[in-house]
């Protein structure tokens, strides 16, 4: 199994979620984050003061998936999250050794 993590623009959440559900993903976890990358942040002038803001709000989505679906799901996320503007985010996958569903104790793919 894999854990896919996606850092996306906050307002893209609905679309990404919808796309994942359509694909058949059964669950996911979302948290708030902020980040920077190419989108280096920007300079703001507020009340006469100029300063650099370099962390931009993002959302972080985690989905546990079966290994063979990983590439497709990455694809689905990337398509749904894309705005073609800088700061669209990253998606990555890491290998997972074990997964357990708390309620039932099921493990492995059944637990997803």
Partner 1 sequence: MKIDSGNTAWMLTSTALVLLMTPGLAFFYGGMSRAKSVLNMMMMSFVSIAVAGMIWVGYGYSLAFSEGGGLSSFIGGFGDAGLVGLEKLATADDGTGIPQLVFVAFQATFAIITVALISGAVADRAKFGAWVVFSALWVTVVYLPVAHWVWWSDGEENGKAGWLFDLGALDFAGGTVVHINAGVAALALALVLGKRKGWPRDPMRPHNLPFVLLGAGLLWFGWFGFNAGSALSAGSTAAVAFINTLAATCAAAFAWIVVEKLRDGSSTTLGIASGVVAGLVAITPACAYVTPLGALALGVVAGAVCAFAVGLKYKLGYDDSLDVVGVHMVGGIVGALLIGVLATTSVNDAGADGILAGGGFGLLGKQAVAVGATLAYSFIVTLVLAKLIDLVMGFRISEEDEQAGIDSTAHAETAYDFGAVRTGVGGPAPAPAPEPTTTKVEA
Which residues in this chain contact a copy of itself in the complex, by CB under 8 A? 1-3, 5-8, 17, 26-38, 54-55, 58, 60, 64, 70-71, 74, 77-78, 81-103, 105, 111
Using CA atoms, how far apart are residues 81 and 41, in angstroms rounded to an integer? 19
- The answer to whether residues 26 and 69 touch, using CB atoms and an 8 Å cutoff, is no
Binding mask 50-69 for ligand ADP (x = CB under 6 A): ------x-x---xxx-----
Q: Tell me which H or E stretch contains 7.
A: strand 2-8
Whole-number CA gyration radius for the chain: 17
Which residues of this protein are in contact with ligand ADP, per CB under 6 A? 7, 26-29, 35-39, 56, 58, 62-64, 86-90, 101-103, 112
């Amino acid at each position: 199994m894999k854990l896919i993590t996606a850092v996306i623009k906050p307002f893209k959440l609905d679309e990404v979620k919808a796309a994942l559900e359509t694909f058949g993903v059964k669950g996911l976890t979302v948290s708030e984050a902020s980040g920077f990358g190419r989108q280096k942040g920007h300079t703001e002038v507020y009340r006469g003061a100029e300063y650099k803001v370099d962390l931009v709000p993002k959302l972080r989505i985690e989905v546990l998936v079966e290994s063979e679906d990983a590439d497709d799901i990455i694809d689905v996320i990337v398509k749904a999250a894309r705005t073609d503007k800088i700061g669209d985010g990253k998606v990555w996958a890491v290998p997972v050794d074990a997964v357990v569903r708390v309620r039932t104790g099921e493990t492995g793919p059944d637990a997803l």
